[in-house]
Amino acid sequence: MSLVETKNENTMRYKCFNNNIALVTGAQRGIGLEVAKQLHSQGAIVICLDVNYPNKTLIEVSTHFYNVYADVADIDSIHSLIETIEKDIGPINYLASVAGILRVTSLLDIDENTLDALIEVNTKGAFFICRNVALKMKSRKKGSIVAVSSNAASTPRINIGAYGASKSALNMLIKTLALEVAPFNIRCNLVSPGSTLTKMQTDFASGPDAQKSILNGSLEQFRLGVPLNKMATPEDIANSIVYLLSEQALQITMHDLVVDGGATLGV
């Protein structure tokens, strides 16, 4: 599949994105890349941020499709980048905050550096890019933001407790931000994936039986299986993100959409 797909009637279902600027973090691969591709196919001017891009300045890799190196944990640098985008390209109308990291360790063994890294990226980094973009949207009284969380934010998981905590904190920050910016016609929502076929997932659980184990669950780890008996794809998660960003969801804010095949039983 090419980076940018050809526009057609099926992919242009959300016309609100036409010629509007959409910012996507964690866009180099996985869910973020799929979100960026979908937004671009639906007419958006997409600006992709990722710590894995080599270029420190914005590069237009194809028409209306930019990428640039960005570390969301570097809050001052991200603030400057937002200023540059607004000055040189235009107002940011949509934000998908996808960037995040996973560290697998028992809470009994976790060290301070690991916990700090999770909080810096998943909580502080994600929140401040949402907050700083929301401040730009506030003056225009228009905008839509979606932050990616996790079903681990609401359900304890052995060995990813700190990750879940970093996402749980993000949930409260984004929901309260949504409440504060609602009078300015800005919507903020969350999408919480479960097990998804991304590099993060394979780094967490690899091997020939890993996927089967996830789908079946584990009594020893107090982990339920997946009722739908299948893993999500990045496209599955991106579909939900793009929907919440779009005008099809104009009356939805402060919502946490869990996309996990029923793994947390709707809790």
38, containing H or E segment: helix 30-41
pLDDT of residue 206: 58
120, containing H or E segment: none
> Which residue has 């984004």 as its token pair?
174
Res. 209 pLDDT band, cuts 50 70 90: confident
User: What is the DSSP-derived secondary structure letter of residue 121?
Assistant: I
Residue 227 lies in a domain: no
Residue 177, domain CATH? 3.40.50.720
Q: Residue 225 pLDDT more than 80?
A: yes
Residue 217 lies in a domain: no
Burial tier of 190 (Cβ tally within 10 Å: 0-12, 13-18, 19+): buried
pLDDT of residue 220: 85
pLDDT of residue 18: 95
Nearest CA to 66 out of 75, 57, 54 is that of 57
Q: Residue 203 pLDDT more than 90?
A: no
pLDDT of residue 204: 62
This prediction's pTM: 0.92
Of the candidates 14, 69, 94, 163, the residue annotated as catalytic is 163
Question: What would the pLDDT profile of 49-102 be if each residue is shown by its tens digit?
Answer: 999 999 999 999 999 999 999 999 999 999 999 999 999 999 999 999 999 999
The Cα 147–Cα 237 span in angstroms is 12
Res. 6 pLDDT band, cuts 50 70 90: very low
Question: 25 pairs with which residues across the strands?
Answer: 49, 97
Query: What's the mean per-residue pLDDT of the chain?
Result: 93
- Measured from the Cβ of residue 89, the count of other Cβ atoms closer than 10 Å reads 16
Question: What would the pLDDT profile of 106-129 be if each residue is shown by its tens digit?
Answer: 999 999 999 999 999 999 999 999
Residue 265 lies in a domain: no
Residue 175, both tokens? 């929901």
Residue 110 lies in a domain: yes
> Which residue has 């029923």 as its token pair?
262
Residue 224 lies in a domain: no
pLDDT of residue 205: 60
- In DSSP notation, 91-110 reads -EEEEEE---------TTT-
Whats the size of the chain, residue-wise? 267
The Cα 97–Cα 94 span in angstroms is 10
Residue ranges making up the domain that contains 21: 15-200+233-258
Q: Residue 148 pLDDT more than 50?
A: yes
pLDDT of residue 12: 60
Q: Residue 170 pLDDT more than 50?
A: yes
pLDDT of residue 221: 87
Residue 41 lies in a domain: yes
* Order of strands, sheet of 143-148, starting from the edge strand that comes earlier in the sequence: 59-62, 65-69, 45-50, 21-25, 92-97, 143-148, 186-193, 256-259
Measure Cα distances from 54 to 50, 233, 264 in Å.
9, 26, 38
Number of domains in the chain: 1
> Which residue has 């996927």 as its token pair?
211
Residue type (1 letter), 54:
P
Kindly state the average pLDDT of the residues 248-255.
98
Residue 103 lies in a domain: yes
243 is an active site residue: no
Residue 207 lies in a domain: no
Res. 1 pLDDT band, cuts 50 70 90: very low
Instruction: Identify which has the larger pLDDT, 20 or 207.
Output: 20
